[in-house]
Homo-oligomer: A and B are copies of this chain.
Amino acid sequence: MSGRVDGPAVSGRVEEPPTPGRLVVVGLGPGPEAQLTGAARAALAGVTDVLGYGPYVARVALAPGQTAHATDNRAEIERARTALALAAGGRAVAMVSGGDPGVFAMAAAVCEAVEHGPEAWRRLEVEMVPGVTAMLAVAARCGAPLGHDFCALSLSDNLKPWETVEARLRAAAGAGFVLALYNPASRARPWQLGRAFAVLGEVLPAETLVIFGRAALRQDERIEVTSLGAADPGRADMATCVIIGSTETRVVPRPGLPPLVYSPRSAGPAR
């Protein structure tokens, strides 16, 4: 480390040592500005560059002098490398993620890129700023369906074999966990949720509660409560988090108000 004495430069232009640069991975929460934490807001205010999937970058009100870099939503590892390269070049970079960056989002891709990238990337300051992930927003909007033990599972088989998804569905539902399904459907993955419902139907009764939580806490929010036997996989899209109750999950009807769905904190014996 070379020391640096602050004070007026006495002659000519002083060559600054290269700024180390840094990367902060920021969770934007479910969408609306009000769902950001103060720490996320402060992190965004302190960077030179904001990078991420276009719709997430579009949520950030850029300050004068900040540069936006919008990417498509594929090739997460490439996006992570771009952000790290910018940071290694001396920029203060925010990589933005919907929800929480550590849940099926960019934080793991950044770690992976650091592990396999140039040695210099291991010396960069990398910070993750947590946020409200989708399942918490959906749960809040319908009561407390995640009120006892639960699992979060991505239905995408882009990065793991479908057999692994099925084995995990069976194990988790069979052991009495509530399930939060991320990435339930997309144009490229149209059949996975229907197959997941079929697999779960072998383990859980048809009356098990199912919640389609689309765009929770956003203006276009749509929360639907149904049962495993009646659930139409076509109700889910990229913006949906699907919650599958356990056999303990209950619904409380309310006159003139949406029902409350909750999983009681107490649970029965192991099955």
The answer, yes or no, to whether A268 is at the interface (CB within 8 Å) is yes
Copy total for this chain: 2
Determine which residue in A102, A163, A172 has the highest number of CB atoms from chain B within 10 A of its CB, and name it: A102
Rounded to whole angstroms, the CA-CA distance of A93 and B265 in the bound complex is 22
Contact A171 B175 (CB under 8 A): yes
For chain A, which range describes its interface: under 10, 10 to 19, 20 to 34, or 35 or more residues? 35 or more
Find the residue from A128, A153, A159 having the highest chain B CB count within 10 A: A128
Give which listed residue, B140, B152, B256, contacts A101 with CB less than 8 A.
Answer: B140
- Residue A39 at the B interface, CB < 8 A? yes
Q: Are the C-beta atoms of B262 and A107 separated by less than 8 Å?
A: yes
CA distance in complex: A267, B168 (Å): 12
> Could you tell me if B29 and A37 are in contact, using CB atoms closer than 8 angstroms?
yes
Does chain B have a CB within 8 A of A174? yes
Checking B35, B131, B260 against A111 with a beta-carbon cut-off of 8 angstroms, the contacting residue is B260
Name A's B-contacting residues (CB within 8 A).
29-30, 32-39, 42, 76, 100-104, 107-112, 114-115, 122-123, 125-126, 128-133, 136-137, 139-141, 143-154, 159-161, 163-164, 166-168, 170-172, 174-177, 217, 250, 252-257, 260-271
